Amino acid sequence: MEKRNLGNSNLKVSSIGLGCMGMSYGYGPASDKKEMISLIHEAIDRGITFFDTAEVYGPYINEELVGEALAPFKREVAIATKFGIQIQNGKQVLESKPERIRQSVEGSLKRLQVETIDLYYQHRVDPSVPIEEVAGVIQDLIKEGKIKHWGLSEAGVETIRRAHSVQPLTAIQSEYSMMWRSPEKELLPTLEELGIGFVPFSPLGKGFLTGTIKKDTTFGGSDFRRVVPRFKPENIEANQVLVDLVKEMAIEKDATPAQIALAWVLAQKPWIVPIPGTRKLNRLEENLGATDIVLRPEELNNLNDALSKIEISGDRYPAEYANRVNK
């Protein structure tokens, strides 16, 4: 598989990574551990070298899964994980005090079974801790050899600039897809200017762009899409116009809607590495097929023109979570 550098850094990874969260957390009950380890090994066999997890996924069990699965392949792959969200009384709490970051990194190193973390993100910006202070702790951890690169998730551009001025950032992770193009306004130009890579999560719109979600689709109690406004039946129905557009291009390119959605993300910039998640081998293979699809400039222009005329219904987060992004 083609590899890409994340920005100006020397972190080179497969052009598509694997988001591992859903194997343990967020999309219903956790899957069988042995099956997920097998899936991660299948991903490696097919050229994936970039795996994404976080301390809070579970919490802890997703890092343990990824650590066990990747233990035999430490020198062949890059692992990204995250700090900064704790579960207290069943709720997510932002926590990036220096002592908490140090506790988190030690826990992640142990669970991932590594001596150094390839890419360490602040999961969400903690408004109670200046980003310069966070960057200073990260700088110390890099000097100590505990992490190699760092990044921010869902941060605003001014925070990115402030953090980058203290300790250069390797990557920013945020949602980006045909369904959520907001990063194009300020984020992508800023990253290009500063030489920072971009790692889009939910490049398939949390599954919507696969074309398999209809207005009568139901989500279980532990599937977080159950509380996402975008996935209310009326919004699912209203947004089918986007799926229809993707399906039309898929027919033209002899591809699947998911492959078109991923190929579109890959075509935006050479320093973008999307991390679609899955629990199924056939979906993994389908996603990787996107790397073989070439969208010609006129096709990309036509898609972007059509996308600009579609208004997406429903917010991507409930209010509680929406307040934590672009800080």
- Taking only the tens place, the pLDDT of each residue in 266-323 is 999 999 999 999 999 999 999 999 999 999 999 999 999 999 999 999 999 999 899 9
C-alpha 192/C-alpha 295 separation (Å) is 21
Q: What confidence category does residue 11 fall into, taking pLDDT thresholds of 50, 70 and 90?
A: very high
How far CA 260 is from CA of 127, 171, 212, 290, 291, in Å, comes to: 37, 24, 14, 7, 10
The per-residue pLDDT for 103 is 98
Cite the active site residues: 57
The per-residue pLDDT for 300 is 97
Q: Dihedral, CA atoms, 190, 159, 195, 12, nearest 10 degrees? A: -130
Sole residue written with tokens 């990194």: 105
The per-residue pLDDT for 246 is 98
pLDDT average, residue stretch 221-242:
96
The per-residue pLDDT for 34 is 98
Percent of the chain with pLDDT over 90: 99
Q: Dihedral, CA atoms, 48, 295, 300, 288, nearest 10 degrees? A: -20
C-alpha 219/C-alpha 206 separation (Å) is 12
pLDDT average, residue stretch 123-152:
98
Tokens for 263, please give them: 């190929």
Hey, what amino acid is at 229?
P
Q: What confidence category does residue 210 fall into, taking pLDDT thresholds of 50, 70 and 90?
A: very high
Q: Each residue of 143-180: pLDDT tens digit?
A: 999 999 999 999 999 999 999 999 999 999 999 999 99
Is 272:247 a contact under the CB 8 Å cutoff?
Answer: no
The whole-model pTM stands at: 0.98
Is 57:21 a contact under the CB 8 Å cutoff?
Answer: yes
Q: Dihedral, CA atoms, 33, 37, 39, 43, nearest 10 degrees? A: 150
The per-residue pLDDT for 251 is 98
The per-residue pLDDT for 62 is 98
The H-assigned helical ranges of the chain are 33-45, 61-70, 98-112, 131-143, 157-166, 187-194, 233-238, 240-252, 257-268, 281-288, 297-308, 319-322
b/e code 139-155 from CB counts within 10 Å (16+ = b): eebbeeebbbbbbbbbb
Percent of the chain with pLDDT over 70: 100
Mean of the per-residue pLDDT values of the chain: 97
The per-residue pLDDT for 40 is 98
C-alpha 177/C-alpha 266 separation (Å) is 10
